[in-house]
Amino acid sequence: MSGTGKAIKVALVVLVTLLAGIIIYGAVVFNRPELMPPGPYHPRALVSQFRGYRVHPWVKIDPTKQYTLKIWSTRWPMFRDGYGYDDLIEEVIDKFQADYRNVDVEYVLLPLDEVGRAIAEAVENATPPNICIAPFDPSLVDSGLVVPINMFMCDEPRDDIKATPATDFELSSLQAVSAGNRLWAWPSWIAVKSWAGNAAILREVGIDVERVMLYGWSYEDILTMIETLRAREAGVPEQYMTYGLVLDTTATHVLDTLMEATGRGLVLSEDGDLMWQGEAIRSSLSFLQDVNAMNGFPEPIHMMTERMLELFWTGRAAVIGPVGPGFLRHVRERQDRITAGGVFSGKETVEPVLLPVPHPTGGMSSPCITVHAAAVLTYPGTGGEDTAYLAVRLSEALARKEALWLAGELPVVPARTKDRQHGFDLATRPDGASRRFLLGAASSGRMYRNLSSEMKEKEKLLREQVISPMMDQFWRGALSPDEFKQRLHDAER
C-alpha cells in the first residue's frame, strides 16, 4: 500500500473516531443537557431548531447585554390589606431581576374590556409588547408574532432545564391555548360562564340548588320554577312581585350564554358556516319567549338590565345573568358593608350562588369557559430569541402569581391543579357545591374561539350589525323566534 493510501486510511479512521465521539458526546449531552452550556450548538438546541422552535430552553442569554421587556395586562381594581395588582407585578419583577440583573421590565395595565383590542391593534401594527396577559385570543397566532412554548413543557418534571410538566395544568386550559399541535401561552386561570341565583327563593319554589350546580338544569326546569313562583305570588302588586329571571338585554350577552350551553358558542364555524341556525337558535329564543308569556320578566323587558342588581339585592329576582367573575366579589364587598353598617340589608334573605346556564330540554349542558393566559410575542424578522426566552420565563411566573392572587379574590379556578390547594380561597365561594360546580366546569368546559383573524372580524360585525339589533327587536316583542332565525340565515347568505 502506498504512503498516500495509508494516510487516507488513517485520516478516515481518525474522522470516523471523531464523528463517533461527537455522536456519543451529543447523545450523552442530549440526555444530560446540563453538561453543556446553552447555545446554538447544544444538541437540544439543534433538535429544537429542526422541529421549528426558535425559542427554547437552550437559548443563550448575553450577560453583557441590557434587555427590556414590556408587559400588558389588566388592571384589577382590588386590594387585600393594601396589596393590589401593581404590587403583584412588582413582586414578580423583583424576583425575576434577582436572577437576571441585566433585564429592565416595564408594564402597562389596561381595563379588562380594552386589553384584547389593544393587543390586537399592536400586533396588527407589528409593535406588540413582549408579554400580554389576557383572555387567550388564538386569532393572533396568524400574525406569526406569538411564540410557541412547547419546548418549555415536558411529560415528566425536569430540573435541568426548568421545564414545567404539562400534567400540572388542567387539560381544558391547555386545549384552549393550543392550535396546530402547538401551545401558544401559559394558562393562568379559568373563568366559568355562569348565571347567578338567590338560593333562598329557589329552594322555596322547589329547586334543588346543589343538584342544579352539579348537574345543570333545563329550560323546562326554569319554566316550572317560574310557574310555581307565579302561583305563589298571585295577587301581589307589581312593586312587590318577585321575578323568575332578570337578564342582561345588552347586545347579545344572554343569547351568547344560551347558545354556548347548547355547544354552539360561535356564530360561524371555522369554515364560515352559520352555526346559529335550526332548532338550536329557535329553542333558545322560544325559551325566552315562553318566560315572557308567563310574566317571568320585569317590565319593560328591553330595559330590565337596569334593574337587575336592584331586584336581586331586594330579594325580588330568583335568577339573574349572565354574571362575570366579579359578581361574587361584589357579593362579598356588599356583605362586608352590611356588617359594617354601611348598607341596609333589608328584610329579605339573599343567598347568592353561581349557577350553570340552562340548556334545552332533553339535551345536555355544555359548560363554557374563558381561559386567561400569558402569551409571549416577538417582533417581526430574525433574531430576538434571547429576549423572547426571557419573556417566556417571566410570563410563566406572572401567570402563576396572578392565578393564585385572583383565585383568592374572585370565583376563578387556577389553571395549575396543584395551585388550588392554597390559591382557591373558599371565601370567594359560599359553599362546597359552588366549588364543585366551578371545578367541574373548568375541567369539562370548552372555550369557544375564532382561530382566524378574518373569521373573528366577520363574526364581530355579524354580532354588532345584525344579531344585536335583532335581539333588541326580540326583547321588545317585535320579532318572533322563527323570524329571528330566518333573518339571521338571510343575512349570512
Query: How far apart (Å, rounded) are the C-alpha atoms in residues 343 and 141?
Result: 47
The per-residue pLDDT for 362 is 85
One domain, residues 360 and 484: yes
Kindly state whether residues 262 and 333 are assigned to the same domain. Answer: yes
- Is the same domain home to 354 and 217? yes
Confidence at 7, pLDDT banded by 50, 70, 90: low
Q: Are residues 240 and 157 in the same domain?
A: no
Quick check: is 3 in a domain?
Answer: no
Helices (H), 208-325: 209-215, 219-232, 253-261, 278-293, 308-313
142 and 238: one domain? no
Per-residue confidence (pLDDT) for residue 335, from 0 to 100? 64
Instruction: Decide if 2 is inside a domain.
Output: no
Average pLDDT over residues 434-441: 88
Whole-number CA gyration radius for the chain: 28
pLDDT of residue 31: 53
The H or E element spanning position 334 is helix 326-339
- Please say if the pLDDT value at position 9 is more than 70: no
Statement to judge: residues 89 and 126 lie in one domain: yes
The per-residue pLDDT for 161 is: 67
Quickly tell me which residue has 328584610 as its cell: 347
Same domain, 475 and 334: yes
pLDDT tens, residue by residue, 352-375: 889 999 999 887 888 999 999 999
Strands across the sheet with 194-198, in order?
243-247, 317-323, 194-198, 352-355
The pLDDT assigned to 345 comes to 53
At 428 the pLDDT is: 46
Give the SS3 label for residue 73: strand
Can you spell out the DSSP letters for 155-202?
Answer: SS-BTTTTBEEGGGB-HHHHHHTEETTEE-SEEEEEEE-EEEEEHHHH
Q: Are residues 93 and 225 in the same domain?
A: no
- Does 94 share its domain with 81? yes
* 159 assigned to some structural domain: yes
Q: Rounded to whole angstroms, how far apart are CA atoms 226 and 46?
A: 65
Residues 313 and 435 both lie in one domain: no
Verify that 277 and 319 share a domain, yes or no.
yes
Q: Are the CB atoms for 165 and 153 separated by under 8 Å?
A: yes
Q: Is the pLDDT of residue 344 over 50?
A: yes
pLDDT at 119 over 80: yes
Q: What is the pLDDT of residues 167-225, one digit of tens each?
A: 999 999 999 999 988 999 999 999 999 999 999 999 999 999 999 998 999 999 999 99
Angle of CA points 447, 369, 400, to nearest 5° = 100
Mean pLDDT across 147-163: 78
How far, in Å, CA of 66 to CA of 78, rounded? 34
8 inside domain: no
Band of the pLDDT at 162, cuts 50, 70, 90? confident
Q: What pLDDT is attached to residue 12? A: 63
Question: Does residue 413 lie within any of the structural domains?
Answer: yes
Among 321-325, 391-395, 424-428, the range scoring the smallest mean pLDDT is: 424-428
Number of compact structural domains in the chain? 3
What average pLDDT score do residues 16-31 get? 50
For residues 64 and 177, membership in a common domain is answered with: yes
The verdict on residue 35 lying in a domain is yes
Is 7 within the bounds of a domain? Answer: no
The DSSP output letter for 373 is E
In whole angstroms, what is the distance from residue 233 CA to residue 240 CA? 9
Pairing of strands 67-74, 131-135: parallel
What is the distance, to the nearest Å, from the Cα of residue 167 to the centroid of all Cα atoms in its chain? 19
pLDDT, residue 316, reads: 94
* Alpha carbon distances (Å) from 13 to 3, 169, 249: 15, 51, 81
- pLDDT tens by residue, 230-276: 999 888 888 889 999 999 999 999 999 999 999 999 999 988 899 99
The secondary structure of residue 72, as a DSSP letter, is E
What mean pLDDT value characterizes the chain?
86
**Position 429 confidence tier, pLDDT thresholds 50, 70, 90:** very low
Q: What is the CATH number of the domain that holds 130?
A: 3.40.190.10
% residues pLDDT > 90 (the chain): 60
**6 in a structural domain:** no
Residue span of the structural domain in which 145 resides: 56-190+370-444
